[in-house]
Amino acid sequence: MFRLFENLVDPYVDYDETAQPPQTLAAFFRYYSVPFRRLFWATAIMSVVVAAIEIGLIYYMGRVVDILVGDPAEVWDQYGNELLWVAAFILLLRPLIQMLDVLFLNNAIIPNYGTIIRWRAHKHVLRQSVGWFENDFAGRIANRIMQTPPAAGEVVFQAFDAITFATAYLVGAAIMLWSADPRLLLPLAVWALLYAGLMRWTLKRVGPASEAASNARSVVTGRVVDSYSNIHSVKMFAHHDRELDYAKEAIEDTRTTVQAEMRIYTTMDAVLVSLNGLLIVGVVGWGIALWLQGNASAGVVAAATALTLRLNAMTGWIMWALTTFFRQLGVVSEGMETISQPIDLQDAPDAQPLILDQGRIEIMELSHHYGRGQGGLDRISLSIQPGEKIGLVGRSGAGKSTLVKLLLRFYEAEGGSIQIDGQDIRQVTQDSLRRNIGMVQQDSSLLHRSVRDNILYGRPEASEAEMLAAAKQAEADGFIADLQDPKGRGGFDAHVGERGVKLSGGQRQRVTLARVILKDAPILVLDEATSALDSEVEAAIQNTLYGMMEGKTVIAIAHRLSTIAQMDRILVLDDGKIVEEGTHSELLHKEGLYAQFWSRQSGGFLNLEAAE
């Protein structure tokens, strides 16, 4: 039975993806609620039915009081069957209706509604560009992906469990009091107006206070995750206390915002108790006055009393439900700052897969300054022939990495263009572009998965034999055989830790090389590919790299000039421009910037002068 309701909505159903997500709360909920429309209607109807049954039971209890004033024998003869039917309804039908209402809400809506938001939000965020991720904390992004779905689910839950039910209940209560004596509506109406005023005061303040508290919690998460992610630096520089102070500032801000939020709730509770006292005295007192005048039966007074006591018990719950509703709306609103941001770099509407048959790269008047007007690249033009091996040299900040990022279309170039085999990379799909480019970076971060999974990331459909061959070619099979993680998994099944932290820098680099070898892309980018390797391993890996380069168009960035001395052509970048070009020997003869770098080398490294 549970499975029937749990499967009423498929949270992974196909949908029209958009690069421009909803920007308002109403549009946000409409967007994610499309698969739930019929279910929402059914749940709303059930909430109204449940509220009507509750009001009906209170009304009937008043009728029972009036029935019982007669002779017991006559009462049973006259009303016995009626009482039995009502008892049967309470024992059999009412639980079924109540259970159906709960099944709709708890089993069909809540698990699936949070899932559909988390799934689609994660899918949307993964489409964002590298630059987008570089402008935020990974911890804060993840926190918003995790906290927004349950908050949205809580909003939906309160909408049906409390708001719909309470509205139907209040309307039913008004109808019942009107049918008993219209004058009983007066104290209820006065109370309702005052209660609405208190609600407005509370909700006006809870939304901003909740959003501020949610923002503060996200900052705490971002700072804590930042410390944990860089724990080696924290320990190495002995900055334990500094990190505590850094986190304490955000934690204290969270405490302050939560205190402000809680003051609103305390004020609300104090005023609510007074209002509820007015409701009880007003309705019950008026009912007693009517009874004393002979204008109302004891049953009417009993029903009115039960109703007001029930409303008294409900008002705190309703107010708390409403404040929870708007507090969670604040959390959703804060989460939308991340998950509803438009895709800043997307495929052209008519983008086609890249067709790469040669590997020629044409760079024309390419400029990119990261929106700062300086740094990066400044109108460089370059032609790389199919199968040509190009080395890039320059001080840090000269634009080498920027060129590679633009080639991979991690950023949209501010000016100029890049073509591969005559196709503008802005007119081809990003996935097809990157599938045709293999890259080994200086920072060889790995996924927190097994060694096998990390290598197969290069080509998931590769066979076990191909994966093993790639590991062997990267000189990685030796140390992999000796690996074992804390859970006893060994060899290729051993997990490498977050970003590969359980492996040495050289080991991570070799796993990364194996991954790129397995990918076997026709264009190869090497960004300090051997910088993390010791001399002995580097010598062995050099042969591997030269083997990888065979038949490919290669762009290699290196501070260790010996690693690119054999390239077909070496480009020297300075201040975003190509200032020298030629083979290793030609550049030495020019006695320019490259020759200065070469003469200043110590152990094969450049004397870096600027920070990128």
Tell me: the pLDDT tens digits for 257-311?
989 888 888 888 788 888 878 777 777 787 787 777 777 777 777 777 777 777 7
State the DSSP string of 442-505.
SS----SSBHHHHHHTT-TT--HHHHHHHHHHTT-HHHHTT-B-TTS-BGGG-B--GGGTTS-H
Alpha helices of 230-297 — where are they, by DSSP H?
231-236, 240-292
Determine the Cα angle at 50 with ends 45 and 51, to 5°: 100
Average pLDDT over residues 39-63: 84
Task: Name the residue type at position 298.
Answer: A
State the DSSP string of 519-542.
H--SEEEEESTTTTS-HHHHHHHH
How many CB atoms neighbour CB 69 within 10 A?
Answer: 10
Pairing of strands 361-368, 415-420: antiparallel
Residue carrying structure tokens 């032609």:
383
pLDDT score of 523? 93
State the average pLDDT for the chain.
Answer: 83
pLDDT score of 532? 55
Residues linked to residue 248 through DSSP beta bridges, in sequence order: none
pLDDT score of 524? 92
- Identify the structural domains of the chain with CATH numbers, from first to last: 19-339 (1.20.1560.10)
Structure token digits, residue 522: 């026709």
In angstroms, rounded to a whole number, what is the distance separating the alpha carbons of residues 271 and 277?
10
| Res. 416 pLDDT band, cuts 50 70 90 | very high
Residue 415 has pLDDT above 50, yes or no: yes
Average pLDDT over residues 141-160: 86
Q: What are phi and psi of 378, to 5 degrees?
A: -130, 95
pLDDT score of 582? 92
Pairing of strands 389-394, 569-574: parallel
CA distances for 234 relative to 98, 505, 508, angstroms = 55, 18, 21
Nearest to residue 9, comparing CAs of 102, 100, 107? Answer: 107
**Residue 340: alpha-carbon gap to chain centroid:** 10
Residue carrying structure tokens 């009517």:
290
How many CB atoms neighbour CB 171 within 10 A?
Answer: 14
In angstroms, rounded to a whole number, what is the distance separating the alpha carbons of residues 127 and 87?
59
CB 578 within 8 A of CB 572: yes
CB neighbours of 382 closer than 8 A, spacing ≥ 6? 361, 362, 363, 366, 571, 578
CA distances for 571 relative to 121, 363, 364, 399, 601, angstroms = 42, 13, 15, 12, 18
Residue range 461-501, pLDDT digits in tens: 999 999 999 998 888 888 898 888 888 888 899 998 877 77
In angstroms, rounded to a whole number, what is the distance separating the alpha carbons of residues 303 and 307?
6
Instruction: Give the E-state strand segments of 327-464 in sequence order.
Output: 361-368, 377-384, 389-394, 415-420, 423-424, 437-440
In angstroms, rounded to a whole number, what is the distance separating the alpha carbons of residues 480 and 224?
32
CB 380 within 8 A of CB 418: no
| Res. 321 pLDDT band, cuts 50 70 90 | confident
CB 145 within 8 A of CB 121: yes
In angstroms, rounded to a whole number, what is the distance separating the alpha carbons of residues 197 and 203?
10
pLDDT score of 526? 87
pLDDT score of 604? 44
pLDDT score of 540? 65
CB 124 within 8 A of CB 336: no
Nearest to residue 507, comparing CAs of 470, 465, 539, 478? Answer: 478
More confident residue, 416 or 228: 416
In angstroms, rounded to a whole number, what is the distance separating the alpha carbons of residues 538 and 65?
94
Task: Name the residue type at position 361.
Answer: I
Helix, strand or coil, per DSSP, at residue 340: coil
CB neighbours of 372 closer than 8 A, spacing ≥ 6? none
Terminus-to-terminus CA distance in the chain, angstroms? 61
Residue 603 has pLDDT above 60, yes or no: no
> Which letter, b or e, does each residue of 77-108 get, where b requires 16 or more Cβ atoms within 10 Å of its Cβ?
eebeeeeeebeeeeeeebeeeeebbebbbebb
pLDDT score of 538? 66
Residue 363 has pLDDT above 90, yes or no: yes
How many CB atoms neighbour CB 611 within 10 A?
Answer: 7
Helix, strand or coil, per DSSP, at residue 611: coil
Average pLDDT over residues 503-517: 85
